[in-house]
Amino acid sequence: QVQLVESGGGLVQPGGALRLSCTASINIFGFKKMAWYRQAPGKERELVADIDAGGRTNYADFVKGRFTISRDSAKKTMYLQMNSLSPEDTAVYYCNAAIGATTVRRGAADWGQGTQVTVSS
């Protein structure tokens, strides 16, 4: 069973920056795709960014130019560098991955705790 653990969240002022990490329990070199999601109170979970095995990236419109997704196979970790944060970015951030045709987190119970990002003065 593959495990994904998010970390790096916290409280930051508007305009500040955070770097989130998603560490896997196995080698991520062969992962087809990894992705960051977020969910604010009362809202649906939404895709923030994703990165495929070739390093190609995709970003939601609301984070383009501010966030950068990357992965480090040696550390078994995917990152999300978040700059120019605003209160609208406040949410619980989650990661997921596709290993071949299998998605690590599928159902509601599989998403775990995530990491809380709070942007406030």
Closest CA to 48 of 94, 117, 84: 94
Average pLDDT estimate for 3-12: 97
Render pLDDT for 25-84 as a digit per residue (tens, 0 to 9). 999 988 999 999 999 999 999 999 999 999 999 999 999 899 999 999 999 999 999 999
Residue 109 pLDDT grade (very low, low, confident, very high; cuts 50, 70, 90): confident
Structure tokens at 32: 């087809």
Structure tokens at 93: 């951030």
- CA 78 to chain CA centroid, Å, is 8
pLDDT of residue 10 exceeding 90, the answer is: yes
Q: What are phi and psi of 87, to 5 degrees?
A: -55, -30
Residue 107 pLDDT grade (very low, low, confident, very high; cuts 50, 70, 90): confident
